[in-house]
A and B are shown apart, each in its own frame.
Chain A
Amino acid sequence: MDIKAYIALSLTLFTTGIIGVLVRRNAIIVFMCVELMLNAVNLLLVAFSKMHAVSPAAKASLTYASDAQIFVFFIMIVAAAEVSVGLAIIVMMYRNTHSIDVNFLNRLKN
């Protein structure tokens, strides 16, 4: 399949994520949308890795082609770390305010 299709799919996912961050107010949903963005990147990286592996120009440096796939694992790990910290922050906020609305706390402004 053409690489453009993967790019299109990935960008769609990514944009969905951005729009989700923009419109949703529930902190957990917002957070899930961020995860969606990261997964769009994962998909794209794997697709690019495959693309480079088969492209004749990159044959010489084929060793690097699989780097992207390893990169994906790093993204997953970092995302997991982020989730743990993020959920902790959300829980902390819920304890203090009994709300997980991102716009609920609005003392810092101007």
Chain B
Amino acid sequence: MNAIIFSAIWGVLMMFTGAFVQSKTLPKYLAITGAALLFLLNGIELYNGTPIFNINGMNMLAITSMNLTFLEVIFAATLLFFMLSGRDVERVGEHVSEYFALIFFVLCGVSLSSTYNTLLLLFLGIEIMSIPLYVLTGADKRNLKSNEASLKYFLMGAFSTGILLMGIAFIYGGNTNASFYIDQIHLGVGKMPVMITVGVVLLIIALSFKVSAAPFHFWTPDVYDGAPTVFTSFMSTIVKAAGFFAFIRLFKTSFGPVQGQWQNLIVFITVATMLIGNVTAVFQQSVKRMLAYSSIAQAGFMLLALFALNQTADDGIILYSAAYSLATIGIFAILIKMNDYTIEGFNGLAKQQPLLGLVATICLLSLTGIPLTAGFTSKFFMLTAAVENGHKFWVVIVAVIFAAISAYYYFRVIQAIYFKEPSSAEPVIDAERVSGSFKILLAITAILILILGIYPEILIGWAHH
């Protein structure tokens, strides 16, 4: 509750700042303050159990420690993102405070879609999350790639909204309780009514689109590639994790008891996502685009939580969100500074910037899922959850195989960082873009990845608080 209201207020505040303050650096500090406050307020709510701003939500919001823990992870990641990449937001265009304001609106949407208890708020949350993103994707107004990405994202996003709404309508029509509350959907006995079944399929399609699961992932590589890199970093981590969380919560609460009736779809989507994400990533030359495909591949792993749908999966999705966000924000923060986004651009990074090379390596290792990194523990949780589910063990095997394939394209970058000589005389990264505080923050990111890799209970403990 704190998060929803405060993020909306702070977003409006940031917009006014844009209108009345000329300074170019102030918005960044304001945004960092806002994210820190969000983290704090949400933390207080998580700790105390009562919000500071309280509104009668008519039971339309489900404020549980699990949801708040997830939000806490999101805000922490946002804070880190602002601190690491805030300066790069300033470089995107002139309307710096608007960008930050839009990010706060996205956060408002994230808060809604993480705590919704009715389909209405799910829809609103997702839309509030998506619409500012269309704008952010096109923030680089003169850049045709940015234009193209924005248009594609918008058209396909609107299309998927239509699908989502159709699904909601069918669920409502088939629900004899005549309710949008996700815990009051009457599924009947035995097979679900046809209308609900159609609704479930449509919801799976729409939400798969939002989390860029195959075969509805087509927008992802183009949008992630075309959008300004800072916003790609934000989109591919925080927004994506929120999409997953919403997806899983809906299907666990409403349709968990009849999981057997729709598990086939999830199996199909999971395997297709892993296949397309991992196999296509192998061929990318641009690291940015490779990370876009890798984010599809990681989505395949997160879908295992939806496949498993048990307690371990709940813990796992929080952990995975944290691990994936940390590593991706870290690697993107470095990528933004690079002069050349291709893999060759990373050649010899370790020699010129040892710390950056090391952190990038740790991030990539975590994305691969090498032990001692957070990526390993989170993948381990996911696989455990999938095994505990007891059905279709072959999915687990497929997941492991694809995790192994993923090492191929991540390690290509590590290889470039450590074992190749720079391809041209000019530096890989302009030294003036790398400040001391940036280095410290990167080191902190890497340490966090390692801590979560060794002691994941820190995070999981909160969720059971």
Contacts and interface: CB of A to CB of B under 8 A. Distances in A.
Contacts of B154: 82, 85-86, 89
Interface residues of B, number: 42
Contact of B148 (A18, A70, A105): A105
Nearest to A68: B172
Most buried by B among A57, A86, A90, A106: A86
Given A41-B169, A61-B178, A96 B142 contact: yes
A93 B165 CA distance: 28
A89 B166 contact: no
A23 interface: no
Nearest to A45: B169
A34 B147 contact: no
Contact of B169 (A44, A64, A70, A90): A44
Q: Which of B144, B151, B155, B169 has the most CB of A within 10 A?
A: B169
A8 interface: no
B131 to A, nearest CB: 5
A93 B145 CA distance: 10
- Contact residues of B: prevailing secondary structure: helix
B49 interface: no
Contacts of A98: none
A42 B379 CA distance: 41
A89 B152 CA distance: 10
Interface string B402-425: 000000000000000000000000
Nearest to B147: A93
Contacts of B159: 18, 21, 34, 37
A102 B181 CA distance: 38
Given A48-B172, A97-B147, A102-B151, A41 B162 contact: yes
Nearest to A17: B162
Contacts of A86: 134, 154-155, 158
A39 to B, nearest CB: 10
Interface of B: 120, 123-124, 127, 131, 134-135, 138, 141-142, 144-145, 147-152, 154-155, 158-159, 161-163, 165-166, 168-170, 172-173, 176-181, 221-222, 225-226
Given A37-B166, A86-B155, A107-B148, 9 more contacts: A31-B158, A44-B169, A48-B169, A68-B169, A74-B120, A75-B123, A85-B135, A90-B151, A93-B148
Interface of A: 3, 7, 10, 14, 17-18, 21, 27, 30-31, 34, 37-38, 40-41, 44-45, 48-49, 51-53, 55, 57-58, 61-62, 64-65, 67-68, 70-71, 74-75, 78, 81-82, 85-86, 88-90, 92-93, 96-97, 102, 105-109
